[in-house]
Chain A
Amino acid sequence: MTATEKKALMVNACKVRMGIIESTHAAKAGHPGGSLSSAELFTYLYFKELNVDPKDPRKRDRDRFVLSKGHCAPGLYAALALRGFFPWEDLKTLRHIDSYLQGHPDMKSIPGVDMSTGSLGQGVSAACGMALAAKRQANPCRVYTLLGDGEIQEGQVWEAMMFAHHYKLDNLCVVIDNNGLQIDGPVDQVMSPYPIPDKLRAFGLETVEIDGHDFEALEGAFDRARTVKGRPFAIVMRTTKGKGVSYMENQVGWHGKAPNDEQCGIALEELNAELARLEAM
């Protein structure tokens, strides 16, 4: 990754964060914490990894992305808008009664959304079905899915992991955002999913652990994922929930709460300062 490329990705991740703040603020609801922790991941997928075309969002051989942790829709929508799937201004209609930007991803109404999700544990299964069908259809596309670390408490996630390994879905890449917090508190206090990589390896997934805010680490992981044959690949990202907005970082209360006018102003001020810093680099 060149320095220019890395800088461009960091700038875009910062813009994705602004989109998350602006949209959840306008919605007066939504999930900023886990959206922010996945901002680099969304940015990397839509600006580097995925074979997608905003002008032809349904093209047959496009790579698929399933946001299994569907509540982080604000992050996905911001990345899709930034990539040109729909107008950036529309982000401010998130969750509004007359908007197509549903609270959780809706494949029927939102350009670029490959699967409707929101009920935890189901997206990863759908991604497995997609990867299986792609092999059957000799479709060269790859399938990516993002799960939360609380989400993997759902038993269905492990049904899906068994399935992915059993059917040798090496066109599937599972990403887990280990930001450490869920609605009721720290994941290891609510119901510990640890050790996550050991569990994934035991289920047969080739697994790496990375810093989910480091674009070079993301590049290394996704590049490696494409070389693995005969088994699915998993990336466990260590992240900070609420990353990029000082008062949201590592605060469980920002899982599913929107910033008010004042908080939104502070967040945008911080992100604008970061954007200016990055652009001056």
Chain B
Amino acid sequence: MADGKKIATRQGYGEALRELGSLHEDIIVFDADLAGSTQTGMFRSQFPDRHFNCGIAEGNMMAAAAGAAAMGMVAFASSFAMFAAGRAYEQVRNSIGYTRLNVKIGASHGGISVGEDGASHQCLEDFALMRSIPGMVVMSPADAVEAKAMVKAAYEHEGPVYMRFGRSPVPVFHDENSFTFTIGKGEVMRDGTDVAVIANGLLVAEAVEAGKLLAERGISARIINMATIKPLDEEIVLKAARECGRIITCEEHSVVGGLGEAVCALLSEKRPTPVRRIGTNDVFGHSGPAAGLLKEFGLCADNIAKVAEEFVKA
């Protein structure tokens, strides 16, 4: 982006936890041998007596976090998205979701941009898994500033929250001094009338770039940052459908069960509108550098612009 500054959203998570820790005595943080990667290590270095490593045992970590929350603490539990949402799904569902306990899951290394570790670690199903749990708030920030604000909003929210952060540095385009974040509210990044692109995570920056490319081709694209997948900002989606008539969703996630399906479900019931979904197409990823993988799987500005152009001209 303009100033070229790039920071991983997981870093925003770590910084927010550290700031919250000094304000709120009731925060307790759990990690599963990935504190250096998830960035809860930042909290640990300042509040070692409130950070608990659970070892490589995510199921126990999630249910233990629930137990701590049952005692009135606000528990943050972190691992990679693959293990937080995937391996520990049933603990999250039964001990955190069903109980509506105050546990905030900070899942890092979501999506294909995990890169070189390959398919076993590239979680492309976490939105689907977490969306399916009643009452679970599911979010994924576009940049480190939004990540930080999101974590603070999650602390204030009463009940379970799932947040997905990325491994790779991504452009920072929100201004930390003026940015405010509200759970369940989308953000129009660029106005337009021919097509609306609804994106989250690192694809927001790509969608904004696509918007510029499309403008050069005479197409007016509205770009929306949908950091909260659940509860979905229905108003902003329906308004986009009404005013643009075409919707494209973009997510670093399978097209099965994520933002795209959430948008389609809403539109099919309340305002049938043509939709194109950009995501991984029901396939596993593989090893490689993040940038190369994002390009290969069409999770980039060029492909968004291509899909949008074909869609508008169809």
Q: What residues make up the interface of A, taking CB atoms closer than 8 Å to B? A: 60, 64, 66, 107-108, 114-116, 118-119, 121-123, 125-134, 136-137, 139, 155-156, 159-160, 162-163, 166-167
Which of B28, B75, B95 has the most C-beta atoms of chain A within 10 angstroms of its own C-beta?
Answer: B95
Assess the A136–B73 pair: CB atoms within 8 A. yes
Q: Is B55 an interface residue (CB 8 A)?
A: yes
B94 touches A125 (CB 8 A): no
- Kindly report which residue of chain B lies nearest to residue A143, judged by CB atoms: B67
Nearest CB of B to A238, in Å: 27
Within the complex, the shortest CB–CB distance from B77 to chain A, in Å, comes to 10
For chain B, residues 275 to 297, give those with C-beta under 8 angstroms from any C-beta of chain A. Answer: none
Query: Which chain B residues (60-108) contact chain A, with CB distance < 8 Å?
Result: 60-73, 75, 90-91, 94-95, 98-100
Contact at B60–A156, with CB atoms within 8 Å?
Answer: yes
Q: In the assembled complex, which residues on chain A have CB atoms less than 8 Å from the CB atom of B91? A: 119, 122, 125, 156
User: Is chain B's binding surface mostly helix, strand, loop or mixed?
Assistant: helix
**In the assembled complex, how far is the CB of residue A65 from the closest CB belonging to chain B, in whole angstroms?**
12
Cβ 8 A contact of A122, one of B28, B50, B63, B71: B63
Q: Could you tell me the distance in whole angstroms from the C-beta of B314 to the nearest C-beta in chain A?
A: 48
Contacts of A134 in B (CB 8 A): 71
User: With a CB–CB cut-off of 8 A, which chain A residues contact B94?
Assistant: 116, 118-119, 122
A133 contacts B60, C-beta separation under 8 Å: no
A260→B179 CA distance, assembly (Å): 65
Give per-residue flags for B41-61: 1 if the beta carbon is below 8 A from chain A beta carbons, else 0: 000000001101011010111
Q: B54, A133: Cβ atoms under 8 Å?
A: no
Chain A residues contacting B55 (CB-CB under 8 Å) are: 159, 162-163, 166
- 20 CB-based A-B contacts, threshold 8 Å: A114-B70, A116-B99, A118-B94, A119-B95, A122-B94, A125-B60, A125-B61, A125-B63, A125-B64, A125-B66, A126-B63, A126-B64, A126-B95, A132-B67, A132-B68, A133-B73, A136-B73, A156-B59, A156-B91, A163-B60
Contact A129 B98 (CB under 8 A): no
Beyond the given pairs A107-B99, A119-B91, A122-B59, 15 more chain A to chain B contacts, judged by CB atoms under 8 angstroms and listed by A's residue number, are A64-B70, A115-B70, A116-B98, A125-B63, A125-B67, A126-B64, A130-B71, A131-B67, A132-B28, A133-B71, A159-B59, A159-B60, A160-B64, A163-B57, A167-B52
| Among B28, B68, B69: residue with most chain A CB under 10 A | B68
